[in-house]
Every structure is written in C-alpha cells, then in structure tokens.
C-alpha cells in the first residue's frame, strides 16, 4: 500500500490524500465538494467579475472537437505496452487483430481452456508478437500473476 502511495506521489506527481478510514474519507469528500462549489459560486456566478477562467459549454465542445480523437483501441494498445516484452509494434499488431480487450478475451475463450494454445495464440497470429509477449498478454487478460 505504501509503495503505491509513494509511486503515485513521487513518480506520477499526484497529491495523495490519506484518511483514517471510511468516515474520515467521507468527511474529506464533503469538504472538497463544498470547496469546489464555493470556488465556482464565487468566481463564476452571474455577479462575479467578467474575466472568466472557465470556458462556456460551447467553447468546451469546440475545443474538444478540435482534439485528436482517441479510440478504445488506442487505449488498449497503451495498456498492452505496459506488459513485459510487449513493444509498440506488438501492441499495434494485437490491436489490429483484436481492437478491444473484450474481442481478445473472446478469442481466448474460443480456445476452450487450452492454456498452451491461449498462451501461444498471439505469437501464432502475428510475427510481431514474440512468445514471451504472447504469454504475458494472456496472463494480463486472465489476471494471473
């Protein structure tokens, strides 16, 4: 638990809020919610200063439409690249065959529990996926250590 908090704070740059249990967590969420409401009521209500920090909804929609679209397959490829021995090329090869985690899980399920066939499936379907990556991806999908 402490390693996760340390990694989140130091390596990923997030401010981890620690609490002493459920009641303390609930109290912290309540305080944060009230602070956010007060901030927006003070700074962005009808009577607030005309200099806005927040976008209007229409401005927000316009900016979002200008952004590059990220697909489920893009996110799946990024997740796959976190698996040991999975290169970017291997992840892209997998997502070209199975664009989503669900499609890959279904392909594994079609092999009716033949573990060896499941571990080797991706290696056999693409030259870009080596045996170790194929086995590690299978372990990821079935949440094995």
Confidence of residue 30 (pLDDT cuts 50, 70, 90): very high
pLDDT tens digits, residue range 46-77? 655 555 566 778 877 887 777 777 788 888 99
Calpha distance 35→19 (Å, rounded) = 18
Calpha distance 16→79 (Å, rounded) = 23
Class of domain 72-142: mainly alpha
pLDDT tens digits, residue range 77-92? 989 998 999 999 999 9
H or E stretch including 141? helix 131-141
CA nearest neighbour of 76 among 3, 8, 137, 117:
137
What pTM was estimated for this model as a whole? Answer: 0.54
* Domain map (residue ranges) of the chain: 72-142
């Amino acid at each position: 638990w402490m390693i996760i908090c340390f990694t989140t704070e130091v390596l990923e740059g997030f401010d981890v809020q620690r609490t002493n249990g459920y009641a303390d967590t609930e109290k912290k969420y309540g305080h944060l919610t009230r602070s956010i409401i007060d901030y927006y009521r003070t700074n962005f209500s009808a009577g607030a200063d005309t200099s806005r920090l927040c976008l209007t909804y229409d401005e927000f929609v316009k900016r979002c439409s200008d952004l590059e679209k990220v697909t489920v397959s893009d996110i799946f490829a990024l997740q796959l690249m976190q698996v040991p021995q999975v290169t970017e090329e291997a992840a892209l090869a997998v997502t070209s065959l199975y664009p989503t985690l669900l499609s890959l899980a279904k392909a594994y399920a079609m092999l009716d529990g033949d573990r060896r066939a499941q571990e080797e499936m991706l290696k056999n379907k693409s030259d870009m996926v080596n045996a170790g990556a194929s086995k590690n991806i299978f372990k990821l999908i079935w949440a094995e250590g």
